[in-house]
Structure 1
Amino acid sequence: MPIKQMGVRMDTESPEYRWRKAQRSSQESLTRLIDMAIENYGYTDLVDAIINDAIKHTKISVNSNEKEIFVDLSKSTDEKLNELGKQLMKESSRRLKKK
């Protein structure tokens, strides 16, 4: 089985870096995270999948009537929309950490 080494750069002030430093084995922990991502989203771009999932479950009120928004961002070239999705993903992640 061929093996490929990959490197990851992280801001040393980021929560992701703090998480990584708390792991006994970064490789084992990242492998388990990848397994969980595959289980939940399959073999697709994780960022797109999470953004799509967040947007699919977004509800808004218009004239006091609740409406659901369904948007597919796969292969989106709109950078502003992509940035908004990334921000939603970070906020969602922070909320999960607080629980």
Structure 2
Amino acid sequence: MLLNMNRRLILPPLGDAAAIFEFGMTFNGYEAFGSFEACAAAANARKRETLDDLRNELFFACRASRHCDNDSYLSTYAELRPLFVTMLASSD
């Protein structure tokens, strides 16, 4: 997980595809949700109520992009980043 000195998540900038992918892969949705199927269902539900929901959705988008050899995870991150910012700010 990418953390700063205060143990806070460091969000990569929108233009850094490699850092976004690395950030997405620091969360293992398969382990967090118990299976591929549960991870996929949670990501596709787009619940977005917890940090784990956001991280799982990005993780799943990164995995799908790697499987399909595309960069669609970037648009997912662009959509999720403001939600990450809000959620992380409210946890202070």
In terms of fraction of residues, the more helix-rich structure is 2
- More strand as a share of residues: 1
TM-score range, shorter chain: 0.3 to 0.5
The structure with more radius of gyration: 1
TM (normalized to structure 1)?
0.32
Name the TM-score, length of structure 2 as normaliser: 0.33
Q: Which has the higher contact order (CA 8 A, sep 6+)?
A: 2
